[in-house]
């Protein structure tokens, strides 16, 4: 079986940046990922990625892909990691399609949307319930919708929907919106967004598609007529397949300042780790650090096979 210098799991900002660095270092590497761009592809307007005063998530994802292709980075999409094992000095990666062996691995699998876990959510997924406003907002043109959450993701979703939907309910379990002040201000100034704080989703209903959502607000049960529900209540790390590194209480992979995990040869980068701030530009920087650490490890380590 072929032995790679490096396998990168994930093709979001951390994984793609690691791939560009690996290509420049002439490493024999492979990228395995479910998709291109990760959470970046779901993002709306991005105004804090250095070099771009304004760019959309899909546009930045396209730039990532172009950059990787310019270096002929080998990327297998879609391919999902299912397990990772350390065998002697080598690391085996098992996916839904194949098995691979490498001297080093960078886990950059990012995060995924957290679910509400209420009646009707699973039944109406992709039938009115969605987790990506950037992807799906145009499908709800002219329809009343609900956005669940009060952080930056929810605020971004609501802002995108103001141009599409005549009425947007923001259902926030907390006492107030918790996102960046400039984003909160934009939402509060909007004429077609109604913020419902101290509110909890109880159920989602419909026929073939969603037609209402039931919430509880300060003990009162309310039924809102909506045809779309955008769930924006946070993210969970895609780390379940990794049973060899140490995770924190949130399931994030614990790394040091060189992106090393507790397992030699296994590095991690981006939102799947315990790095405190989850930002595209931070994930990109972490991807470069992880690759440089893996490269240094390759130079200094001797393999027994």
Q: What is the CA radius of gyration of the chain?
A: 21
Quick one: pLDDT at residue 197?
A: 96
Quick one: pLDDT at residue 113?
A: 86
Q: CA 111, CA 55: separation in Å to the nearest integer?
A: 22
Quick one: pLDDT at residue 304?
A: 61
Q: CA 206, CA 139: separation in Å to the nearest integer?
A: 17
All structural domains of the chain, each given as residue ranges with its CATH number in brackets, are 3-112+235-300 (3.50.50.60), 115-231 (3.50.50.60)
Residues of the chain with pLDDT under 50: none
Residues 136 and 205 sit within 8 Å (Cβ to Cβ): no
What tokens appear for 265 in the block? 């040869």
What pTM was estimated for this model as a whole?
A: 0.79
Q: CA 207, CA 210: separation in Å to the nearest integer?
A: 7
What tokens appear for 292 in the block? 């440089």
pLDDT tens-place string over residues 277-292: 888 999 999 999 999 9
Q: CA 210, CA 226: separation in Å to the nearest integer?
A: 7
Quick one: pLDDT at residue 153?
A: 86
SS percent in the chain: helix, strand, coil, step 5? 25, 30, 40
Give the sign of the dihedral formed by CA 36, CA 297, CA 272, CA 79: positive
Q: CA 25, CA 54: separation in Å to the nearest integer?
A: 31
Residues 183 and 159 sit within 8 Å (Cβ to Cβ): yes
Which residues are annotated as catalytic? Answer: 132, 135-136
Report residue 11 CA to chain centroid gap.
Answer: 11
């Amino acid at each position: 079986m072929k032995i790679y210098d490096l396998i990168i799991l994930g093709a979001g900002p951390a994984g793609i940046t690691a791939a560009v660095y690996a290509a420049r270092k002439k490493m024999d590497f492979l990228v395995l990922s479910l998709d291109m761009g990760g959470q970046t592809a779901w993002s709306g307007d991005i105004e804090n990625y250095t070099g771009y005063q304004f760019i959309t998530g899909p546009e930045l994802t396209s730039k990532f892909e172009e950059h990787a292709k310019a270096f002929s980075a080998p990327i297998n999409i879609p391919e999902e990691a299912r397990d990772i094992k350390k065998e002697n000095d080598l690391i085996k990666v098992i996916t839904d399609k194949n098995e691979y062996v490498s001297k080093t691995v960078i886990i950059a699998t990012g995060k995924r949307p957290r679910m509400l876990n209420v009646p009707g959510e699973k039944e109406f997924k992709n039938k009115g319930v969605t987790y990506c406003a950037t992807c799906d907002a145009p499908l709800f043109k002219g329809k009343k919708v609900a956005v669940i959450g009060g952080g930056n993701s929810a605020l971004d979703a609501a802002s995108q929907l103001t141009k599409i939907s005549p009425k947007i309910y923001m259902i926030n379990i907390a006492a107030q919106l918790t996102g960046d002040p400039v984003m909160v201000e934009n939402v509060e100034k909007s004429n077609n967004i109604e913020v419902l704080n101290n509110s909890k989703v109880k159920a989602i209903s419909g026929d073939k598609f969603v037609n209402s959502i039931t919430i509880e607000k300060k003990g009162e049960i309310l039924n809102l007529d909506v045809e779309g529900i955008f769930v924006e209540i946070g993210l969970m790390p895609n780390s379940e397949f990794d049973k060899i590194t140490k995770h924190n209480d949130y399931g994030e992979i614990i790394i040091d300042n060189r992106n090393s995990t507790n397992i030699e040869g296994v590095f991690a980068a981006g939102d799947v780790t315990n790095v405190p701030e989850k930002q595209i530009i931070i994930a990109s920087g972490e991807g470069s650090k992880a690759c440089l650490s893996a490269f240094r490890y390759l130079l200094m380590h001797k393999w027994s096979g």
